C-alpha cells in the first residue's frame, strides 16, 4: 500500500533521484531511516524499478521520433510485440484499443534510419499493416509518474 510519506519521497526523487537520503529526509520532514526503509520497500514491491538519467534523444543524434500504429494477426499480438521491443530504436510498445492493435514509440537518426526500421518492421511475422506518424514537435514528454 502506497501512503502519503511514500508519495512525498517519490515527489522529491522525481525532481532529483541523486539526492542523498539525508537531503530527502530533511525535505519531507522525516528521518533518514524512514526514507531508507521507504525506498527499500518501494524497490522491493517493484514500485521503483531502477534509476536512470532522463536523456534527451536529440543530443545523441536521435532527432526524429515516430509513432507507429500496428495491425497484428489475431492471437499473435504478444509474439510480434516481443520481436519489436528488442530493437534499440524502440522506446515503448503499447497494446491499445480501437482500430489498431499496438503503438510503437521509437527514435531515429534521421529519415534513412527510420526507413530501414520500417522496412525491417514490415518483415516481422504477424504484422499485417503499419502506419507511421512522424513527430513534428513535442509539447510534453513526461516519463515520470507524478504522484
The whole-angstrom separation of Cα 30 and Cα 3 is 14
Check residue 142 and give its pLDDT. Answer: 85
| Pairing verdict, β 90-95 and 127-134 | unpaired
DSSP for 33-58 reads HHHHHHHHHHHHTTSS--------GG
For domain 57-134, the CATH architecture is: 2-Layer Sandwich (3.30)
CB 77 within 8 A of CB 102: yes
- What's the rounded mean pLDDT across residues 24-37? 97
The whole-angstrom separation of Cα 45 and Cα 59 is 34
Count the residues in the chain: 147
Q: What are the residue ranges spanned by the domains of the chain?
A: 4-44, 57-134
- What's the rounded mean pLDDT across residues 5-21? 95
Q: Which 8-state DSSP code applies to residue 59? A: G
The tens digit of pLDDT for each residue in 33-65 reads 999 999 999 999 999 999 988 888 999 999 999
The whole-angstrom separation of Cα 58 and Cα 109 is 8
pTM comes to: 0.84
Share the mean pLDDT of the chain: 95
Check residue 146 and give its pLDDT. Answer: 74
- Percent of the residues in the chain that have a pLDDT greater than 90, as a whole number: 90
**What's the chain's Rg over C-alpha atoms?**
20
Residue with grid cell 536523456, as numbered in its chain:
55
- What's the rounded mean pLDDT across residues 86-105? 97
CATH number of 4-44: 1.10.10.10
Amino acid at each position: 500500500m502506497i501512503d502519503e510519506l511514500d508519495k512525498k519521497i517519490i515527489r522529491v526523487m522525481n525532481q532529483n533521484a541523486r539526492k542523498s537520503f539525508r537531503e530527502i529526509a530533511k525535505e519531507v520532514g522525516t528521518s533518514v531511516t524512514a526514507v531508507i526503509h521507504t525506498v527499500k520497500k518501494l524497490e522491493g514491491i517493484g514500485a521503483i524499478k531502477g534509476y536512470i538519467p532522463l536523456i534527451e534523444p536529440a543530443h545523441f543524434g536521435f532527432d526524429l521520433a515516430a509513432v507507429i500504429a500496428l495491425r497484428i494477426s489475431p492471437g499473435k499480438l504478444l509474439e510480434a510485440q516481443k520481436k519489436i521491443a528488442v530493437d534499440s530504436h524502440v522506446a515503448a510498445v503499447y497494446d491499445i484499443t480501437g482500430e489498431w492493435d499496438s503503438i510503437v514509440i521509437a527514435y531515429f537518426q534521421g529519415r534513412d534510419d527510420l526507413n530501414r526500421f520500417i522496412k525491417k518492421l514490415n518483415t516481422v511475422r504477424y504484422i499485417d499493416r503499419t502506419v507511421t506518424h512522424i513527430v513534428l514537435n513535442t509539447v510534453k514528454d513526461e516519463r515520470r509518474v507524478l504522484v
